[in-house]
Amino acid sequence: MDLSPHPVPSPGEALKVTPMMEQYLEIKAANPGALLFYRMGDFYELFFGDAEIASRALGIVLTKRGKHQGDDIPMCGVPVVRAEEYLHRLIALGHRVAVCEQQEDPAEAKKRGGKSVVKRGVIRLVTPGTITEEGLLEPARANLFMTVARARVSDSEARFGLAFLDISTGLFGIGECDRQGLAAEIARIDPREIVVAEALYEDEGLAHLWRESRAAVTPVGRDVFDGASAERRLAAFYGVATVDGFGSFSRAELAAAAAAVAYVERTQIGARPALEPPRRDAALSHMAIDAATRANLELTRTLGGERAGSVLDAIDRTVTAGGGRLIAAWLSSPLTDPATIARRHDAVGWFCDDLAARTELRSRLKAAPDMARALARLTLDRGGPRDLAAMQAGLEVVAALQARLAREAALPALLIEAAEALARPDSGIAAGLAAALDDELPLMKRDGGFVRAGCDADLDETRALRDESRRVIASLQARYAEESGVRQLKVKHNNVLGYFVEVPQAAGEAFLKAPLRETYVHRQTMAGAMRFSTAELSDLESRIASAADRALAKELAIFDALAARVLADQAAIRAATEALALLDVVSALATLADEENHVRPLVDASLAFAVEGGRHPVVERALKREGKPFVANDCDLSGSDAGHIWLLTGPNMAGKSTFLRQNALIAVLAQMGAFVPARRAHIGAVDCLFSRVGAADDLARGRSTFMVEMVETAAILNQAGPRALVILDEIGRGTATFDGLSIAWAAIENLSAVNRCRSLFATHYHELTQLAKTLPRLANATMRVTEWQGDVVFLHEVAPGAADRSYGIQVAKLAGMPAPVVERARKILAELESADRTKTPARLIDDLPLFAVAPRPAPAAPRRDEVAEALDGLDPDDMTPRQALEALFELKARREAARKRPGP
């Protein structure tokens, strides 16, 4: 579909249009659905609906050019030199842009006739998932696009092949899932763009996935996902006879992978990125985390979509862009194999034990540029001198780190593999780049001036001729000014006139008369200035242009030779780049462990879940900034043949949700390979993590808050197995009390008897605590609080037992509820708690008239110094530290309560 709301005429319309506009319409028709950046000189111009969209999105002026069917043609443009800035804004809004360049010199077009149009063509399609420019990419975030292919297994069942690809680094992964797991995989991979066949895009049963995804969704024709030719197309892309050497893939996986490379070819239009062979990203090797759980736990972004405040933000200590992308990938895809997890823990532990090595390696890593993306740009022939410089600096870091690791006698397995990868690149490439590249480099190679003097004798000679000519022009300008008597005379240059003399308009009148007109030929009159040329300038221009062109051509040849040398060793360089990212991540996790007092967890194949002194990494970080301590808590859900369930009661604001989330996050951190915020942790590898926390509706799908709660709970009860970890908060609260209680009751029984998984279940239904008498794997736990004269003090401690009340009125008071409302609520609560269960609602309302006037409080008695009296009754010698802390909290609560009471 065309994005343009304004009608765009087809190129075959009988309506007369200019040759230039006819060319535009032909190119636009070939690229529907994309904004067309049509190169005209120093600008990219947009017309018709594209111009209207771009002017609104970019905040630029909408003008007009010519007419179509009697109406003005909308037009706007952006300078070529600032195109990257405008592209960034358009891509961020989800637009696709077709970049159309001039493909011949305007002088060649003129040879074909005065009305001939410069040949133009689209050189690439820029989409959210296929950008490579450094200025358009987030350094620490992978820029993936995903293709989704469907393969029918039966009339009622289908499998979905997934391929995800990052052109900016060459990453290429594939996998497969069922319909139920598709949303979770999209959330885990977190692509910037999703490419699907039109039939899949229009499937009503999947429409919510495309709508809810943060990614731009691009529907394409069915030919892109042709399963019959998928294997042949994939083999042709890699230039191999068969893809069997890459692994064994399903029909759905092959269709998705072939669609991915087809989309690369379609968007890059002739440019060929160096992609890794596709690697299977097996779902069974990762902890399954559905989209709702990822959102609830705020792993890589908060509920508001921000990185700040997320778990990733709290744990990321990486110092390189590649390391930042890798730690996000580890956090998004925790492992399930204890042996592989232990390899990561061994590497983190080595850096924890050797502070000197960690400090030295991290210091060197800080100097490493983003080699992966620089290499990708060079592969696509979009690289510049600074990309070559990035390769030079990166390879120097690689060599230094390899030499440092080579001195270590006992490295863990993961670091041995990293050291081997660091030794692979050609050691002479960095030296060659250092010898050829100048210290100050332009962004674009077309600007020249990036080759170091002395690198090439022919280039030095050509540059000397070019630079000498510049001095000749300065001398010529001085002579012309002296001869004409016009001190404001300047010799300038542009692409239309070449070199010319420019003088103020008042002085220019004299140049139109003898004797000056014999030397100066009038070329152009400007507002306030006149321009002239001379035979001498024309001759000099020819010589200067020749020298400058030869110098630039020589530099470009040197650039191509340097790039070719880098690309010849790209497989080894890519492996070394991955090793740098790995070293950055494991050393960063060791730094995190030291800074935040994290410990190495034991992860095995048991059903254990024993955490001593567990903490929430994000909440603890926030409290630390405020100078407050985090109250650590234990959790033990371990079982031999099935997991245990903790039923957690206590008031709001006491920390139930924090406790639930922190234990889920400890499992995620442990299995991603990090140390965990606890005194000790023993985790039996969790294969699925489910969370039902918080309340939200889904009005777009016609779902109330309660319906969303039930859908998510149903998904958990239908999928969780013995190795899962489930955290549930306030199930059933969105409906009538007894309905909600019944649902929560039945859910707990199902978790115990059917799912048999490790679970934390927070609730305000105190009646559920009685289930501990009949369910042997269920234990009651509560958030400890203390109360003093109607005020509640939260201790944030988890203790065995059950809460006897929810302290809702006390919390309402803390929230600032008006005093009459609080007192009225207290009276109603007292009546409700003492009322007979058989009393009818009408009788209860009669007893508690709605507009009853609260009694006027009696005059207060003279105050006693209650804090002093309580302090006199304490004997510190007979108190344990815990009792002393509790007494301190109680004294503080009394003092605050005394301050709030009115005076006598």
Stronger pLDDT, 727 or 821, i.e. the higher one: 727
498 in a labelled binding site: no
Q: What pLDDT score does 741 carry?
A: 85
652 in a labelled binding site: yes
Q: What pLDDT score does 286 carry?
A: 92
**CA gap 404, 580 in Å, rounded:** 13
Q: Do 609 and 637 meet the contact criterion of CB atoms below 8 Å apart? A: yes
CA nearest to 595, candidates 333, 326, 332, 355: 355
445: tokens are 């190679």
Q: Do 822 and 813 meet the contact criterion of CB atoms below 8 Å apart? A: yes
Domain range holding 902? 860-904
Asked if pLDDT for residue 3 goes beyond 50, the answer is: no
Q: What pLDDT score does 458 carry?
A: 86
Stronger pLDDT, 755 or 837, i.e. the higher one: 755
Is residue 56 a part of any domain in this protein? yes
813 in a labelled binding site: no
Whether residue 189 is found in the same domain as residue 281: yes
691 in a labelled binding site: no
Asked if pLDDT for residue 195 goes beyond 80, the answer is: yes
Decide: helix, strand or coil at residue 55. Answer: helix
Whether residue 591 is found in the same domain as residue 604: no
Is residue 619 a part of any domain in this protein? yes
**CA gap 409, 425 in Å, rounded:** 22
Q: What pLDDT score does 605 carry?
A: 95
Stronger pLDDT, 362 or 711, i.e. the higher one: 362
Concatenate the DSSP letters of all residues of 222-264 into one string.
GGGG-STTHHHHHHHHHT-S-SGGG----HHHHHHHHHHHHHH
Whether residue 711 is found in the same domain as residue 781: yes
655 in a labelled binding site: yes
Q: Do 539 and 560 meet the contact criterion of CB atoms below 8 Å apart? A: no
Whether residue 619 is found in the same domain as residue 584: no
How much is the pTM? 0.81
Asked if pLDDT for residue 572 goes beyond 70, the answer is: yes
**Greatest mean pLDDT among 346-360, 543-557, 787-801:** 346-360
Please identify which residue in the block is written with the tokens 């075959």: 12
**Torsion angles phi and psi, residue 664, rounded to 5:** -65, -40
Whether residue 35 is found in the same domain as residue 159: no
**CA gap 414, 343 in Å, rounded:** 6
CB atoms within 10 A of CB 247: 12
Whether residue 50 is found in the same domain as residue 121: yes
Of 6-15, 42-51, 734-743, 886-895, which gets the smallest average pLDDT? 6-15
pLDDT in tens, 846-900: 554 444 444 444 454 555 566 666 676 677 766 776 777 777 777 777 776 666 5
Of 86-100, 281-295, 320-334, which gets the smallest average pLDDT? 281-295
- Between strands 279-280 and 171-178, the pairing is parallel
**CA gap 764, 744 in Å, rounded:** 10
Is residue 818 a part of any domain in this protein? no
146: tokens are 């995903």
pLDDT in tens, 605-642: 999 999 999 999 999 999 999 999 999 999 999 988 88
Give the pLDDT mean for 390-398: 96
Q: Do 492 and 499 meet the contact criterion of CB atoms below 8 Å apart? A: yes
**CB within 8 A of 331, min separation 6: which ones?**
299, 300, 311, 312, 315, 668, 672
10 in a labelled binding site: no
- Report DSSP state, residue 124: E
- The separation between CA 202 and the C-alpha centre of its own chain, rounded to angstroms, equals 27
Q: Do 698 and 712 meet the contact criterion of CB atoms below 8 Å apart? A: no
Stronger pLDDT, 1 or 644, i.e. the higher one: 644
The H or E element spanning position 147 is strand 145-152
Reported in sequence order, the residue ranges of 771-891 that DSSP labels E, i.e. its strands, are 778-788, 791-800
Asked if pLDDT for residue 583 goes beyond 70, the answer is: yes
The answer to whether the peptide bond before residue 515 is cis (omega within 30 degrees of 0) is yes
Q: What pLDDT score does 299 carry?
A: 94
Q: What pLDDT score does 640 carry?
A: 86
580: tokens are 């740098």
**Greatest mean pLDDT among 114-128, 549-563, 590-604:** 590-604
Is residue 44 a part of any domain in this protein? yes
Chain mean pLDDT for the chain? 86
Is residue 815 a part of any domain in this protein? no
Asked if pLDDT for residue 2 goes beyond 60, the answer is: no
Residue 558 pLDDT level (bands cut at 50, 70, 90):
very high
> How many domains does one find in the chain?
6
427 in a labelled binding site: no
Q: What pLDDT score does 99 carry?
A: 93
Q: What pLDDT score does 9 carry?
A: 61
- Between strands 35-40 and 43-47, the pairing is antiparallel
Concatenate the DSSP letters of all residues of 289-328 into one string.
E-HHHHHHHTSSS-TTS-STTSHHHHH----SHHHHHHHH
Read off the CATH number of the domain in which 265 is found: 3.30.420.110
Stronger pLDDT, 834 or 634, i.e. the higher one: 634
387-390 contacts, C-beta under 8 A, 24 or more apart: 388/433, 388/437, 388/559, 388/562, 388/563, 388/566, 389/433, 389/437, 389/441
Whether residue 438 is found in the same domain as residue 484: no
Give the pLDDT mean for 839-846: 45
Task: Out of 765, 792, 808, pick the residue that ends a domain.
Answer: 808
Whether residue 517 is found in the same domain as residue 536: yes
842 in a labelled binding site: no
Is residue 698 a part of any domain in this protein? yes
Is residue 290 a part of any domain in this protein? no
Whether residue 50 is found in the same domain as residue 97: yes
Calculate the alpha carbon distances from 705 to 185, 334, 694, 700, 762 in Å: 24, 30, 10, 12, 18
Rg (CA), the chain: 36
Q: Do 437 and 450 meet the contact criterion of CB atoms below 8 Å apart? A: yes
Whether residue 575 is found in the same domain as residue 651: no
Whether residue 144 is found in the same domain as residue 76: no
366: tokens are 């800080």
Calculate the alpha carbon distances from 613 to 627, 778, 797 in Å: 19, 21, 11
Asked if pLDDT for residue 837 goes beyond 50, the answer is: no
**CA gap 245, 235 in Å, rounded:** 10
* Helices of type H across 148-250: 182-189, 198-201, 207-212, 230-238
CA nearest to 470, candidates 378, 387, 544, 362: 544
* Helices of type H across 66-180: 83-92, 106-111
CB atoms within 10 A of CB 234: 25
pLDDT in tens, 36-87: 999 998 899 999 999 999 999 999 999 988 777 667 889 999 998 888 889 9
Q: What pLDDT score does 284 carry?
A: 60
Whether residue 440 is found in the same domain as residue 586: yes
pLDDT in tens, 203-223: 988 988 898 888 899 999 888
Read off the CATH number of the domain in which 326 is found: 1.10.1420.10
Is residue 299 a part of any domain in this protein? no
pLDDT in tens, 401-440: 999 999 988 899 999 999 999 999 998 999 999 999 999 9
pLDDT in tens, 250-300: 999 999 999 999 999 999 987 888 899 998 876 568 999 988 899 889 999
Calculate ∠ Cα 697-700-705, nearest 5°: 15
**CA gap 4, 28 in Å, rounded:** 11
Q: What pLDDT score does 892 carry?
A: 73
How far is the first Cα of the chain from the last one, in angstroms, to the nearest whole number?
Answer: 78
Residue 33, Ramachandran bin (φ over 0: left; ψ between -120 and 50: alpha; else beta): left
Q: What is the 3-class SS of 680-713, one letter each residue?
A: EEEEECCCEEEEECCCCCEHHHCECHHHHHHHHH
